[in-house]
Amino acid sequence: MPYKVLISDSLSKEAVDILQKEKELTVDVNTKLTPAELKNVIKDYDALVVRSGTKATKEIIEAASKLKIIGRAGVGLDNVDINAASKKGIIVVNTPAGNTISTAEHAFAMMLAMSRNIPQADLSMKKGEWERKKFMGHELYGKTLGIVGLGRIGTEVAKRALSFGMKILAYDPYLSMERAKALGMEPADLDTLFRKSDYITVHTPLTEQTNHLISDKQFEIMKKDVRVINCARGGIIDEAALVRAVEVGKVAGAALDVYEEEPPNKDNKLLTLNKLVLTPHLGASTEEAQTNVAIEVASTVRDYLVSGCIRNAVNVPCVDPEVYKAIEPYLKLAEKMGAMQAQLVDGHMKKVKIRYVGEILKYDLSPFTLSIMKGMLTPILQDTVNFVNSMVIAKERGINIVEARTAEVQDFASLIIIEVETDKMKSSLIGTLFTKVHPRIVKIDESYVDAVPEGYMLVTSNKDVPGIIGQIGTILGKNGVNIAGMSFGREAKGGKAVSILNIDSDVPKNVLEEIRKSPNIYGVKLIKV
């Protein structure tokens, strides 16, 4: 049966065609749904595609019994309850790159317009005036531009500023000295950037840390006649503080495309200041950008529904299709190891420590951790857990997850090590890839093994004495259970050992109990991965 897609905000024809041409999808376009109507119909859909008009609230998401993905044509996700979606295992995707150029160009256009008094001069001309001296401007050449946030948009602004001969100070907590210099800019802390910049532009998300990032204290340490630009998010610049800084002559000009309240209240004092250039949130408002983000979100939703490929997800780490091809064997190994470990331990999980060793460190590790936790929770929660909500569910259950990494290569090029602590025991599992594609378990607790994590597996803890495998094999054989493969390991000669048998079918409880009661058997677990 085809997946059903609902487009509830206007998208370009090119974007709608991408979805409608896919024979595995049925597409409905309805841009006039009220919130109540959307809540009523959403239960029938596998995907929802929106712009900023539709509000995918908690109530609507909870009413969505089939929904697998929400696609937002744009960057901001204020209209989507991401936490509610994550708890239901719904992937939320946006289009972070689609409006990069349009927003960077708008920020730069605002900086130029402010520097050369273009809006004010245009208004004067249209009044029939000719006031050349009144609109004396300032060149960008040789000035210092402080850029707060060096993501895609901040980097594009920097490229344009360099072409104008500007000097750049850049602040970003993840920007290394080497990367900054490679981009032709100087890294700086925020105070230094505020003190030394002639122009300051912000390109960060709005978070608790960036809310009112620029306020009275920051304006106080800035140069006299500084100019500021905000085409990112309203609230990063404290508007009341900006008004005060303009009125006392500290700030020579400001260019704003975003506001703490949108649209701004008509009595907002910003609207009365001649030194400000204001636009109504036009950063992404180009025909090219709107088409690009629509096409991108349509392609992302289609690819996920048809092939399972996840891109641009905000509540699950994104994996480029080419990268996915390279890491897919590791993802499968990680999920299988998580499933094994969950079935091998007893008691309530308290802590999961995951260590990555060797060549695997060249990849982003977060998808592997998600895979491990999905595998670990699935034996208990089944279809209610997936790659999106596995971490949320684990944390809700008080499981402490710790990641560690080491470049020191041991006996294998790459290793994944999972150590689990419950209220009853501790257990560890080490896995790797053979020939870079075939998952293998190479150690269980203190015993080295060579086990294939596939299908039904019988794992026994036993004393290292002759005849154990024959003993187990006899019991399985008389009950019609075929052995497909086996591996053995021991801590020391004559000590504790582990036997792993790959078998072709389930094992009845009475047969497991017979094995468990056999001589020299400490314990037995039937697991399925």
pLDDT tens, residue by residue, 322-331: 677 788 889 8
**pLDDT at residue 313, rounded to an integer:** 81
**pLDDT at residue 99, rounded to an integer:** 84
Closest CA to 401 of 432, 431, 365, 425: 365
- The token duo for 414 is 């790459």
In whole angstroms, give the CA distance from residue 527 to residue 450: 16
Work out the mean pLDDT of the chain and round it to a whole number.
Answer: 90
Q: Is this prediction's pTM over 0.75?
A: no
pLDDT confidence band for 175 (50 / 70 / 90)? low
pLDDT at 285 over 70: yes
**pLDDT at residue 415, rounded to an integer:** 92
- The token duo for 392 is 């949320």
Give DSSP secondary structure letters for 412-453.
SSEEEEEEEEESS-EEEEEEEEETTTEEEEEEETTEEEEE--
**pLDDT at residue 77, rounded to an integer:** 84
pLDDT at 196 over 90: yes
Cis peptide before 508 (omega within 30 of 0): no
Would you call 248 exposed, middle or buried from its count of C-beta atoms within 10 A (0-12, 13-18, 19+)?
exposed
Contact 259, 289 (CB under 8 A): no
User: Is the domain 100-278 a CATH 3.30.70.20 member?
Assistant: no
pLDDT confidence band for 320 (50 / 70 / 90)? low
**pLDDT at residue 406, rounded to an integer:** 82
Q: What is the mean pLDDT of residues 109-134?
A: 95
CA–centroid distance for 75 within its chain? 13
- Percent of the chain past pLDDT 70, that is, above it, reads 95
Q: What is the mean pLDDT of residues 309-313?
A: 80
Choose between 319 and 445: higher pLDDT: 445
pLDDT at 96 over 80: no
**pLDDT at residue 491, rounded to an integer:** 80
Q: What is the mean pLDDT of residues 253-263?
A: 96
**pLDDT at residue 324, rounded to an integer:** 73
pLDDT at 384 over 90: no
Residue 446 sits at the vertex; the CA angle it makes with 444 and 447, to the nearest 5 degrees, is: 60
The answer to whether 3-97+289-307 and 100-278 have equal CATH topology is yes
Q: How many residues in total does the chain contain?
A: 529
The CATH superfamily label for domain 3-97+289-307 reads NAD(P)-binding Rossmann-like Domain (3.40.50.720)
For domain 317-445, give the fold. 60s Ribosomal Protein L30; Chain: A; (3.30.1330)
pLDDT confidence band for 388 (50 / 70 / 90)? low
**pLDDT at residue 410, rounded to an integer:** 65
pLDDT in tens, 27-61: 999 999 999 999 999 999 999 999 989 999 999 99
**pLDDT at residue 116, rounded to an integer:** 97
User: Which strands form 349-358's sheet, in the order they lie side by side?
Assistant: 400-406, 349-358, 414-422, 426-434, 438-444, 447-451
In whole angstroms, give the CA distance from residue 166 to residue 108: 12
Q: Cite the active site residues.
A: 233, 262, 281
For domain 455-529, give the fold. Alpha-Beta Plaits (3.30.70)
pLDDT in tens, 181-192: 888 999 899 999
User: Which strands form 496-503's sheet, in the order they lie side by side?
Assistant: 483-490, 496-503, 456-463, 521-528
Which of the listed ranges 105-114, 388-397, 402-411 does the model predict with the highest average pLDDT? 105-114
**pLDDT at residue 386, rounded to an integer:** 66
Choose between 31 and 1: higher pLDDT: 31
3 state DSSP class of 179: helix
pLDDT in tens, 495-504: 888 989 898 8
Which of the listed ranges 77-91, 107-121, 145-159, 479-493 does the model predict with the highest average pLDDT? 107-121
pLDDT in tens, 11-29: 999 999 999 999 999 999 9
Instruction: Please give the single-letter amino acid code of residue 471.
Output: Q
**pLDDT at residue 174, rounded to an integer:** 55
Which of 70-74, 161-165, 307-311, 484-488 has the least mean pLDDT? 307-311
How do the domains of the chain map onto residue ranges? 3-97+289-307, 100-278, 317-445, 455-529
**pLDDT at residue 412, rounded to an integer:** 81
**pLDDT at residue 61, rounded to an integer:** 96
Closest CA to 429 of 442, 413, 410, 411: 442
